């Protein structure tokens, strides 16, 4: 009988992603009712060294699938590897982050192993050996609670929903899994990765985000919110209107057709609040809106609102925060 919880520990270039540590935290909370142990799965090339950190973060076993063909993410390679791990570990629940990788990988694997899948969940609890997952519907305007009838329950969690687990003093048993993944199963081969050099946090993992909309008026004006973001140690985001206007790159677009974010603080500058944008940031813990239109829909979801010209308010905020940090 399937038991225990398996957390897919996403990594990039041998570095653990924050979503993996968030998954281990909620797995520990659910394990008392689900039964069995909390284990982790890690896939890549030469990634077995991550087992030590995963053990300190609560994993009893770490299932490792390694190979040259798994050096960078590919849908076919990673899906085959995680399928092999699930068949060997036989978990009742599989958790992963609702990241770019998790959104692509989990449905593929669920189909392969005959599991049920709930995506983009914002709260989890266990009842009677099953996970009850809360997730947004209708572009975030309502929430539903769902369970999975299949024996394997696969769930992806919106990043920043749960705090990352703290390291303890534990250790994990390492289980090497032969997934038999070679280049013949991979249809799209990554030849080169061009990275954007930035000292700012990754958008979906950031605790603070400063976003600009059409009200920024030009790409040059994004320097205003970039300066505020750097003072706060924040990521920079943009609405689709700003991206479509050429003010910002699509890589930082927040919304239904961009990235879904869940920071502790979201500062919306010159963003009117179209439903598509709010679908991507509505669950932020605190929302601050700066807009000169008092009737802008963004104020309906904002915890704090400033009705004024962003070109006056944002530089003032930056100056005041610099003063506070200098004290």
Question: Cα–Cα distance between 185 and 79 in angstroms, integer?
Answer: 11
Q: Are 232 and 209 in contact (CB under 8 A)?
A: no
Q: Residue 66: its pLDDT value, please?
A: 94
Q: Residue 192: its pLDDT value, please?
A: 80
Question: Cα–Cα distance between 12 and 269 in angstroms, integer?
Answer: 31
Average pLDDT over residues 220-232: 96
Q: Are 52 and 171 in contact (CB under 8 A)?
A: yes
Q: Are 175 and 64 in contact (CB under 8 A)?
A: yes
Q: Residue 39: its pLDDT value, please?
A: 97
Question: Residue 127 carries which DSSP code?
Answer: E
At 242-252, the pLDDT tens digits run 999 999 999 99
Q: Residue 294: its pLDDT value, please?
A: 95
At 38-56, the pLDDT tens digits run 999 999 999 999 999 999 9
Residue 287 bridge partners (DSSP): 266
Question: Cα–Cα distance between 200 and 210 in angstroms, integer?
Answer: 11
The DSSP-derived string for 13-78 is: TTEE-HHHHHHHHHHHHHHHHH-S-EEEEEEESS-GGGHHHHHHTT-SEEEEEE-GGGSS--HHHH
| Contacts of residue 251, Cβ cutoff 8 Å, sequence gap at least 6 | 196
Q: Is the pLDDT of residue 180 over 80?
A: yes
Q: What mean pLDDT value characterizes the chain?
A: 93
167 exposed, middle or buried (CB, 10 Å; 0-12, 13-18, 19+)? middle
Question: Cα–Cα distance between 279 and 202 in angstroms, integer?
Answer: 19
Task: Return the higher-pLDDT residue of 264 and 186.
Answer: 264
Q: Residue 87: its pLDDT value, please?
A: 96
Q: Residue 141: its pLDDT value, please?
A: 84
Question: Cα–Cα distance between 71 and 175 in angstroms, integer?
Answer: 19
Choice among 28-37, 83-92, 188-197 with the minimum mean pLDDT: 188-197
Q: Enter the tokens of residue 128.
A: 């009677």
Sheet holding 123-127, edge to edge: 123-127, 130-137, 142-146
Residues of the chain above pLDDT 90, percent: 83
Q: Residue 2: its pLDDT value, please?
A: 76
Residues of the chain above pLDDT 70, percent: 99
Question: Cα–Cα distance between 227 and 220 in angstroms, integer?
Answer: 12
Per-residue pLDDT band at 296 (split at 50, 70, 90): very high
| Domains in the chain: ranges and CATH | 5-185 (3.40.50.620), 203-326 (3.40.50.1220)
Question: Cα–Cα distance between 39 and 55 in angstroms, integer?
Answer: 9
Q: Is the pLDDT of residue 1 over 70?
A: no
Q: Enter the tokens of residue 100.
A: 């770019």
Per-residue pLDDT band at 195 (split at 50, 70, 90): confident
Most distant CA pair in the chain: distance in Å?
Answer: 63
Per residue, the 3-state secondary structure of 303-327, as one string, reads CEEECCCHHHHHHHHHHHHHHHHHC
Q: Residue 316: its pLDDT value, please?
A: 97
Q: Residue 125: its pLDDT value, please?
A: 95
At 116-133, the pLDDT tens digits run 999 999 999 999 889 999
Question: Cα–Cα distance between 155 and 264 in angstroms, integer?
Answer: 23
């Amino acid at each position: 009988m399937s038991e225990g919880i398996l957390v897919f520990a996403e990594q990039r270039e041998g570095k653990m992603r924050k979503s993996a540590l968030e998954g281990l935290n909620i797995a520990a909370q659910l394990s008392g009712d689900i039964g069995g142990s909390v284990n982790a799965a890690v896939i890549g090339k030469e990634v077995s060294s991550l087992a030590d950190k995963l053990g300190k973060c609560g994993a009893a076993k770490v299932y490792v699938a390694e190979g040259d063909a798994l050096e960078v993410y590919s849908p076919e390679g990673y899906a085959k590897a995680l399928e092999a791990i699930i068949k060997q570990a036989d978990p009742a629940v599989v958790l992963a982050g609702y990241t770019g990788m998790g959104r692509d990988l989990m449905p593929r694997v669920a189909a392969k192993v005959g599991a049920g899948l709930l995506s983009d969940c914002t709260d989890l609890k266990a009842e009677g050996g099953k996970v009850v997952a809360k997730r947004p519907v209708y572009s975030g305007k309502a929430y539903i609670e769902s369970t999975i009838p299949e024996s394997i329950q696969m769930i992806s969690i919106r990043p920043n929903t749960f705090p990352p687990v703290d390291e303890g003093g534990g250790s994990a048993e390492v289980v090497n899994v032969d997934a038999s993944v070679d280049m013949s199963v991979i249809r799209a081969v990554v030849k080169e990765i061009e990275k954007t050099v930035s000292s700012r946090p990754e958008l979906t993992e950031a605790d603070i985000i400063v976003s600009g909309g059409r009200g920024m008026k030009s790409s040059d004006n994004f320097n205003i919110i970039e300066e505020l973001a750097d003072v706060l140690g924040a990521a920079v985001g943009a609405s689709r209107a700003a991206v479509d206007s050429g003010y910002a790159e699509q890589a930082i677009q927040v919304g239904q057709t961009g990235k879904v974010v869940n920071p502790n603080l979201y500062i919306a500058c010159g963003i009117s609040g179209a439903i598509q944008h709010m679908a991507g940031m509505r669950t932020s813990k605190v929302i601050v809106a700066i807009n000169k239109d008092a009737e802008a829909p963004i104020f309906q979801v904002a915890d704090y609102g400033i009705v004024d010209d962003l070109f006056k308010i944002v530089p003032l905020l930056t100056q005041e925060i610099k003063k506070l940090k200098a004290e």
